Amino acid sequence: MKKKIAILGSTGSIGKSLIDIIKKDKKKFEIVLLTANKNYKELYKQSKLLNVKNLIITDTKGYNFLKNKSKKLNIHSDYKKLNKILKGKIDYTMNAIVGLDGLEPTLNIIQKTKIIAIANKESIICGWNLIIKKLKKNKTKFIPVDSEHFSLWSLINGQDKKKIDKLYITASGGPFINLPKKKFDKIKLSDALKHPTWNMGQKITIDSATLMNKVFEVIEAKNIFGVPYKKISILTHPKSYIHAIIKFNNGLIKILLHDPDMKIPIQNSLPDIGNKNIKTKSLNLKILNNLNLNTVDVKKFPLINLLDKLPEKSSLYETILITINDNLVHKFLEKKINYKRLIYLINKFSKLREFQKYKKIKAKNVKDIYRLRNYVSFKMNSIGI
């Protein structure tokens, strides 16, 4: 029987990579749902290519366009009616939505899927306690898609977390790893968008340039694997060949490496797939003999210091951090602030006294998270940038 699959955020970088893999194996998969925010043209193209009847598009213009386009398609404007859209439990869902808006769809779809692969790191960072409850209740299997976490997950392979002595995730260091600190003032948006090893959506590309992405990934790792912050370290590794290292208590150290191509973790998260769908390169001895791993230069990348102030237990403060960064990265993408101000303001807002109390408060439901996000955005606007 064909595996039934839903792809949330199918028009983005991760979503398209998954479509690329699946379209080569149409006999094995039936796509039952695709979703997007604004890009109705791509969504419509994908629905025709893979014969998908159910589409969700949140933007009104896109919704109206698709609604008029075809009577045969079931078009929805939100994620509230997943119970009606999906009959029974499907086999696999990929959540590849960008941003905190991905959390509600994650929570809503867990009960309708046997496996949920989550690339949407904002869900994992802000709503992990809500996600884990739903996963347990619905016996849904979770697979992390972020490459470092997919590697850690593969290396741990269900072993008891007590056996872990230390987790390491790698950072390419982004486009500025070799730039002298005195030149950071001159960084332009176009420089920050030129990632040396990964090809990703714009938002995460900027987070990779500032290394805020690694702050988020350490939180992600702490949540997923249940190990304290002091046991998680970041290593810079410009070649992006190694993704994770684990030192176990028995002295064994395991390293996972693969080419810097998100299709590798994405394909390996799929149920029952052959390995013929993506081209892989042979072992790269040149890189292996020149791995070049280092600790992060926090003088160049001061946002890494934010990790020192995070609460050990998941809290609403993570929502604050995600929201501050999200708002400011968008201002940077719109060229309303420069790189230096981006870093300064992320630091400034995250240290705001009023926000610190949230380090001791846990989200009871998704509304708590969204309400706080709105408040933080309001507060940032009222203070001004």
Which candidate, 184, 192, 217, places its Cα nearest to that of 322? 217
User: How many C-beta neighbours within 10 Å does residue 301 have?
Assistant: 25
Contact status, residue 209 vs residue 175, Cβ threshold 8 Å: yes
Based on the shown chain and the rule CB under 5 A, indicate whether residue 220 belongs to the binding site for Mg ion: no
C-beta of 38 vs 330, nearer to ligand NDP = 38
DSSP state of 254: E
Based on the shown chain and the rule CB under 6 A, indicate whether residue 198 belongs to the binding site for ligand NDP: yes
Based on the shown chain and the rule CB under 6 A, indicate whether residue 15 belongs to the binding site for ligand NDP: yes
Each residue 32-61 as x (binds ligand NDP by CB under 6 A) or -, in order, gives: ----xxxx------------------x---
Based on the shown chain and the rule CB under 5 A, indicate whether residue 122 belongs to the binding site for Mg ion: no
Task: Report residue 39 as tokens.
Answer: 């890009």
Q: First-to-last CA distance in the chain?
A: 55
- List 146, 207, 220, 326, residue binding Mg ion (CB under 5 A): 146
C-beta of 278 vs 352, nearer to ligand NDP = 278
3-state helix, strand, coil in the chain (%, to 5): 50, 15, 35
C-beta of 37 vs 240, nearer to ligand NDP = 37
Based on the shown chain and the rule CB under 6 A, indicate whether residue 85 belongs to the binding site for ligand NDP: no
Based on the shown chain and the rule CB under 6 A, indicate whether residue 174 belongs to the binding site for ligand NDP: no
DSSP run (H or E) holding 32: strand 29-36
Based on the shown chain and the rule CB under 5 A, indicate whether residue 104 belongs to the binding site for Mg ion: no
C-beta of 33 vs 118, nearer to Mg ion = 118
Based on the shown chain and the rule CB under 6 A, indicate whether residue 377 belongs to the binding site for ligand NDP: no
Based on the shown chain and the rule CB under 5 A, indicate whether residue 261 belongs to the binding site for Mg ion: no
- List 122, 220, 261, 318, residue binding ligand NDP (CB under 6 A): 122
Q: Where are the alpha helices (DSSP H) in the chain?
A: 13-23, 40-50, 60-69, 82-85, 103-109, 121-138, 147-156, 189-192, 202-210, 212-225, 263-269, 285-288, 317-333, 339-350, 353-356, 366-383
Residue 119, strand partner residues: none
- Binding residues (CB under 6 A) for ligand NDP: these are 9-15, 36-39, 58, 96-99, 101, 119-122, 146, 198, 200-201, 203-204, 262
- Binding residues (CB under 5 A) for Mg ion: these are 146-148
